[in-house]
Structure 1
């Protein structure tokens, strides 16, 4: 690959690259996207179908329970051409559901105890003036009233006029004429007065009189709807009993109403009057009445009470006492307000469940957005894009724009389709109000998803949390929040605080839309009175605040987005670039226990080289300089701190490939992760072309290529699309981009057979690995980090990959880790062997073999009886030879190179062949693998001893 002179990609270039990649990604997931957009359409359709089904199945019930109708015009075929409905055509059962423009008039009634519950003498009351209990058997117990006051004689005189009508019963031939009597009933009252229960049941109406004459029962015709009934009117005598104080009355009423553990009413009083200080010049009275009459089917708290006739009776008694029996206060009737028709079974799904239903529908977008954001972090795709030059700005803009387009399309389908099929929830409300509300909310929801994504890095966890949020928001909104909105006594500030939660803002807005759709719909002028204006203001303000907080958390506390910035990173004056002197190794560090006692001369020379480079005014010509880089993981559960990297100092020049060798857990990957920005160094730093990894990582990313230890790829994108995306991030365009992609595919053997145009999900492990290497080299980065690039490759692919790396290192500095000694010898100009986080040696492969492998390995196989002869032969060649292997006639010895010559070994073997049988023999130089094992074992043995 040729060198490139492209500059760092601009904001628009990065945004364009990400947009193109996302567009392709979404095309591959078109079925999922279509299903998502179809969800609100399906919900609206099911709602309409369910409404039609419910309405259809309730028609038969409503015909029986709704207002009655008759045909008033039939044609020749017997078909009804005109139907008339109304109360006049209704039965008693149908009447409550009719339109009643002029409700009937009812005589005012008193609440009378049933015959078996009227007050009698008992063992728990001290009063003997009550009737004997035997009257209950004949039903002749009177209606008892209790009296008290400061003036007993005046009170008794006043009570003598109570219920004294003095009218002839034969004059009562209709319902209106009954208004001149003091009537009562022992039936339970209703919640309205359209139908007085006393006139539609089987119980008689009681005519309350001081004394009842024989044969005082009579019947009066009563017209109710289309039915005429003969209402029985029975005379009921009244009994007026004087008590000395109001406390005695209270005690008697209390004891008479309930007996011990029994809930049965046993000794009820009709009413009680306390005349207080009433006299001929002053009328002042308190009235006790029974408000505890219950009906098991209705809430007694909403019952009408039969009190007005008591007030009228005592008022007339006073007037007649003072003015004569001919003076009376007329009380003709009571009458309900007019009412519209109503069906007993009427179900409007959207009126009852619209806010809850559409809250769930719109909130379904939230877990979708959240999962998408967290997926990129969990798969480390976000940091992979970042390491190849994608800035936070383009990522946020393009991701936000995509989620907004998806949300807008989703909600638009909901509103348009709902309106098209005639849902009043959408059609009745001003579309501009709906547009503004949904526009603001979907922006707030996206911002809230970005904020929540900063705290999660696992898709399964965030999926569960997201759907719990959706379900819980709807349930709490319907069960609690809606009731608080309807409760006008609940403080407005409390609603505002609740509406800060986006889900409740959404629920409040949808609730107001649903409520307005049942009347005249919502217009802009209605926003002040219905709370919608308040919700819009809260959401707009919260949108910007949440977005800023989400971006801040993404930079300083987000999980899975790389190295976190300082909490005050936005204060440019605060965040000063560290001085070079602060990063240079101090004398104390060089004399520390970690560096000097354990370091070999070659490692010390490399450290001194780094120190000298950092003293220069400009050292940016060196691609990579590591200055005493350290990483320590704090100990947990009582374990000591763990040093992953112990002061790495390294300088790489352009065109150099440096190999990191070492056993697993030696600190190779941790070193690379610090240099590529995946983790923050505990101390020390590194410079990439003069840029500090602690403060300038964003600039370093634009000139860096990374092949991570594990392949970080999109399963639905092809190899070519991956390279096009990362090539655009490296500012490649047009022909240069196409050429670079083609060369990369050919270089890693993904070009032939259309392999590069297959989705990565269909690649084998080796093919993915080759693609990861190609991605790290696309765009000609100045520095490249490869973590075990040839893992899982077959020999042919490995050799092909080595050729690619050799060409790439001509213009780049490359750091790679590997467990293949052959790969290290072929590719690396210098090698460093790591053990326990420390660099043990550094140098060219040949140099290391000469330094740590100064011996030959002599191998000879003979019969068991000749083993002693072989050992004597070796001792003659080299007295200090070391036997390193012995089994079944095969022996290996290390021969110091300074003691033997190859010619001497050959001559000795030829002589030995004449003396005994030699099955096989060999003489080999030290391999890099031998050096690796020797250095690693020596370092580990030293660490154990120390």
Structure 2
């Protein structure tokens, strides 16, 4: 005796992962051009940057940007005026050239304060009616004083110190030694400090130098000439009165400074302002020590890397207060001089402009984030097309799906970023070459994982590809622009709380921007100074935000990925059953999914809308009895299953399925007939996990569809109403994929695939190896049937499987289904009465959410169709004679159709004999013309129409 064939269990995790990986590789192979385009996009942008960088480099290499040179020793005229010695340097250069000159001994410049321009100096206004401010009419003559706000805990001491902040000049300025002259008084400028002190912008011709004095004398406004080393100076010196004003507290000072800055648009150069030179808070200053806070206008700021240039104006403010405090302690004969500030010496350099470092933070943010909408669109597409739930219905579990999908997106992202960094380095972009590659690797590795996790999370909230794509690109460009014009401003503003910057960086797009910004700043600084960019040791710098960004992204990655999985399970847009929000607690208890017995209580109170329908009542009684007994051969049990669609916009609720009870044993094909909108598809959708039931439940081989759907999927096959297929995969690849999900392997898999394709006529002529996008509608339906039967599923749901098939294909399909039902239970919905009669062992006519009758086709025809149908066509004038003839044959006959001489009558079978009808018609032919006639038995279609009309009429009356 042969041993029984071993039972094939459900596919393991690795088997399902292998199936999905192979399917994805086939799918991506067909989308190779798109994938190449995605990965080459950053290469294209790098090429554009290199071309632009070349144009800029050629422009900067022109003589107008090279250090200026003159001939200091021309040769004799006889040798063609050849120059024997050329001298180059700052003294021979224009402002555009001086940046590239060597400066072995930089010029010292006096320390200045930032004085507001005449039209912006603080005056009394309606919005700023504070004490001591001058009348606005001083702006007409340009004579407004430069005000300083003063406060402190010791008013008398603070006011005493403030009086001497601006010491008076005793005579007209002599700039023979301008550093010594300006060190004894307070000088100022209304120009912005430059990025280097090699040339002080206040000493460039055309700019004003102010002397801040307690009182201005006319002879202090003058034009003087002097030399700064080898640089001749022509200075316009104006006197400005310094006006110290006492305020009661630091909060008052802060409020007044703020109101003055923001008045009428606010900001340097951004509108009419009411600005002050500075604000002093002497705090607890006394004879034992100087303690003070200084407010200064940081909007005069042109940052390079992390050097706030406005701080170059602060030393004179500190010196003014310190000098006066020394005099307060030691007497007027003691002074603290601040002669000058000076840059470090520099060698000659070539003017450089690194475009990649300047634009990298914004453009590279966009480049890296462009993968986000690509991933998001792919994930939402699988949900929108119901491909994800289709795979789940054929046994694919969440673990393999997430593993393979995540791995694919990671491989795509990693390839994208590797090409980006390698190509950017090869073509010479300092953004990549200057910074340590190990830091770049860690940063990009963490971010692409965070980005993939974020895409999984966000995809749970979308069911439309179009909306997801729009939102994805809004996020990409929005986060880049906000990073450039908002986050960057806060990062560079040393006064902005760093804690809020960290809060902003919780948004992944801002984290990416900040990291790329740091790379760009270090690359730019390294390019300017001829050094390397960011190294690991630089992460300890207090102003370097890379360490914080890396920590934030790692923590977010660890949170977002599990959160994405959780939301996918409980989201209403996930496609399929929503799990209970506390489903994860089930991991702590054992779930006997393998049981095959029914030990359940009733699912709530029964709905008795069908009590007048004996078939439905009898079926419910059968189900109730089976639920109490361990019956192993019942493949499907529906226990009072109900579905209600809640009305929107004031519409009433729609009861789609009304407490349906049904029992289907193994080896039976059950057919559901019903008009459109009757609820057939809603019932199927509940059984296959597309939608959850409102109440009641169903059991498939003992497993509850509410709690054990994942286990049910391993034994189920589905042919949905609409074909759920990948357009770029072939028919064979579809069947192969689903066969692997059902744990078919090796030669068994190949044989099953070939047999499946042959059974639905998709094998010969290479049809099975064509892409599904080239299939006709009928071919797609046949492929869907083949998919539903692959792997020997125990239960199969077919929703109108023969729709769109030609007669030959339909007959072939019927043979397949009849053969398949021998070892499994099948639920089939159809509008074809012929198909139902051929395939179904039992039928249920489904109207308005419930069964109106149940039974095999012969029983239903006998019960609802006990009549013959006589059809006769005669001249119109003989219609009356035909009607009389019929009533003589059957007194209870009824006319059911009448038009232009053609009449149709129903004759009760118990009142007539077929032979009598033939004799009567032959006799009538001798009296009048009969063009055509026929006598037929009742069809299943007649039964369906009769039951459906009766049920709908009852529903309307009710």
TM-score w.r.t. the length of structure 2 is: 0.77
1:916 paired residue number? 928
In 2, Cα distance between equivalents of 1:186 and 1:513: 36
**Deviation digits for residues 433-476 of structure 1, max 9, x if unmatched?**
22122111111111111111111111000000001111111111
Is contact 1:583-1:627 (8 Å) kept?
no
Which ranges in structure 1 are unaligned for 5 or more consecutive residues? 115-140, 142-149, 151-157, 213-217, 248-260, 262-281, 283-290
1:805 paired residue number? 817
Counterparts in 2 of 1:78 and 1:749: CA distance versus 1, 3 Å: farther
Counterparts in 2 of 1:792 and 1:196: CA distance versus 1, 3 Å: closer
Is contact 1:109-1:309 (8 Å) kept?
no
Q: Which region of structure 1 is more displaced relative to structure 2, 659-668 or 431-440?
A: 431-440
Q: Which region of structure 1 is more displaced relative to structure 2, 371-380 or 920-929?
A: 920-929
Is contact 2:645-2:654 (8 Å) kept?
yes
1:890 to 2:890 alignment: no
2:611 paired residue number? 596
1:258 paired residue number? none
Is contact 1:107-1:334 (8 Å) kept?
yes
Q: Which region of structure 1 is more displaced relative to structure 2, 328-337 or 488-497?
A: 328-337
Counterparts in 2 of 1:88 and 1:774: CA distance versus 1, 3 Å: same
1:102 Cα deviation after fit: 2.4
1:135 paired residue number? none
1:846 Cα deviation after fit: 1.4
Matches for 1:746-765 after TM superposition, within 5 Å: 746-765=758-777
Counterparts in 2 of 1:224 and 1:931: CA distance versus 1, 3 Å: same
1:371 Cα deviation after fit: 0.6
1:866 Cα deviation after fit: 2.9
Higher Cα radius of gyration: 1
**Deviation digits for residues 226-264 of structure 1, max 9, x if unmatched?**
6778x8999x9x9x9xx9x999xxxxxxxxxxxxx9xxx
**Deviation digits for residues 510-559 of structure 1, max 9, x if unmatched?**
22222222333222233233232222222222212111111111111151
Counterparts in 2 of 1:175 and 1:802: CA distance versus 1, 3 Å: same
1:559 paired residue number? 573
In 1, Cα distance between equivalents of 2:408 and 2:397: 17
SS of equivalent to 2:644 = strand
1:302 Cα deviation after fit: 7.3
Match of 2:779 among 767, 786, 809: 767
In 2, Cα distance between equivalents of 1:368 and 1:628: 44
Is contact 2:796-2:824 (8 Å) kept?
yes
1:446 to 2:432 alignment: no
Match of 2:364 among 346, 358, 363: 358
Is contact 1:840-1:939 (8 Å) kept?
yes
1:538 paired residue number? 552
Which ranges in structure 2 are unaligned for 5 or more consecutive residues? 118-142, 144-155, 157-163, 248-263, 265-286, 288-295, 304-308, 527-531
Matches for 1:322-401 after TM superposition, within 5 Å: 334=340, 336-338=342-344, 340=346, 347-401=353-407
Match of 2:431 among 406, 425, 435: 425
Is contact 2:396-2:741 (8 Å) kept?
yes
Counterparts in 2 of 1:658 and 1:71: CA distance versus 1, 3 Å: farther
In 2, Cα distance between equivalents of 1:381 and 1:798: 26
Counterparts in 2 of 1:442 and 1:897: CA distance versus 1, 3 Å: same
**Deviation digits for residues 323-369 of structure 1, max 9, x if unmatched?**
9xxxx999997564445479998532222222112111111111111
1:695 to 2:707 alignment: yes
1:55 Cα deviation after fit: 2.3
In 2, Cα distance between equivalents of 1:380 and 1:392: 15
1:776 to 2:788 alignment: yes
Counterparts in 2 of 1:305 and 1:406: CA distance versus 1, 3 Å: closer
Is contact 1:106-1:196 (8 Å) kept?
no
Is contact 1:312-1:331 (8 Å) kept?
no
Match of 1:836 among 829, 832, 848: 848
In 2, Cα distance between equivalents of 1:911 and 1:510: 101
In 2, Cα distance between equivalents of 1:498 and 1:73: 62
Match of 1:28 among 27, 30, 54: 30
1:828 Cα deviation after fit: 1.0
Q: Which region of structure 1 is more displaced relative to structure 2, 798-807 or 931-940?
A: 798-807
Matches for 1:488-567 after TM superposition, within 5 Å: 488-517=494-523, 518-519=525-526, 520-529=532-541, 530-567=544-581
In 2, Cα distance between equivalents of 1:310 and 1:181: 10
Counterparts in 2 of 1:894 and 1:528: CA distance versus 1, 3 Å: same
In 2, Cα distance between equivalents of 1:330 and 1:603: 106
In 2, Cα distance between equivalents of 1:691 and 1:232: 94
In 2, Cα distance between equivalents of 1:622 and 1:782: 11
In 1, Cα distance between equivalents of 2:842 and 2:246: 111
1:754 Cα deviation after fit: 1.0
Is contact 1:4-1:780 (8 Å) kept?
no
Is contact 2:637-2:699 (8 Å) kept?
yes
1:85 Cα deviation after fit: 3.3
2:132 paired residue number? none
Matches for 1:137-286 after TM superposition, within 5 Å: 191=193, 194=199
Counterparts in 2 of 1:613 and 1:98: CA distance versus 1, 3 Å: same
Match of 1:607 among 608, 620, 623: 620
1:6 Cα deviation after fit: 2.0
Is contact 1:860-1:921 (8 Å) kept?
yes
1:574 Cα deviation after fit: 7.5
Is contact 2:638-2:660 (8 Å) kept?
yes
TM-score w.r.t. the length of structure 1 is: 0.78
1:311 Cα deviation after fit: 12
In 1, Cα distance between equivalents of 2:899 and 2:200: 114
Match of 1:46 among 48, 73, 77: 48
Equivalent pairs, count = 832
Counterparts in 2 of 1:4 and 1:638: CA distance versus 1, 3 Å: farther
1:74 Cα deviation after fit: 12
Is contact 1:106-1:175 (8 Å) kept?
no
Is contact 1:110-1:309 (8 Å) kept?
no
Q: Which region of structure 1 is more displaced relative to structure 2, 521-530 or 792-801?
A: 521-530
In 1, Cα distance between equivalents of 2:506 and 2:899: 80
1:568 to 2:582 alignment: yes
Counterparts in 2 of 1:485 and 1:558: CA distance versus 1, 3 Å: farther
Is contact 2:872-2:934 (8 Å) kept?
yes
2:133 paired residue number? none
Match of 2:716 among 680, 700, 704: 704
Q: Which region of structure 1 is more displaced relative to structure 2, 418-427 or 776-785?
A: 418-427
In 1, Cα distance between equivalents of 2:765 and 2:35: 31
In 2, Cα distance between equivalents of 1:180 and 1:895: 126
Counterparts in 2 of 1:501 and 1:906: CA distance versus 1, 3 Å: same
Counterparts in 2 of 1:80 and 1:30: CA distance versus 1, 3 Å: farther
1:712 Cα deviation after fit: 0.5
**Deviation digits for residues 868-923 of structure 1, max 9, x if unmatched?**
33222222211111112223332221110111111222222233333433332211
**Deviation digits for residues 129-174 of structure 1, max 9, x if unmatched?**
xxxxxxxxxxxx9xxxxxxxx9xxxxxxx9xx987789xx9xx997
SS of equivalent to 2:550 = helix
Is contact 1:418-1:426 (8 Å) kept?
yes
1:865 Cα deviation after fit: 3.4
In 1, Cα distance between equivalents of 2:99 and 2:344: 12
Counterparts in 2 of 1:79 and 1:885: CA distance versus 1, 3 Å: farther
**Deviation digits for residues 726-753 of structure 1, max 9, x if unmatched?**
1111111111111111112121111222
Match of 2:480 among 449, 474, 482: 474
In 1, Cα distance between equivalents of 2:113 and 2:845: 106
1:402 paired residue number? 408
Match of 1:875 among 887, 890, 895: 887
1:87 Cα deviation after fit: 2.4
Counterparts in 2 of 1:87 and 1:833: CA distance versus 1, 3 Å: same
Is contact 1:91-1:227 (8 Å) kept?
no
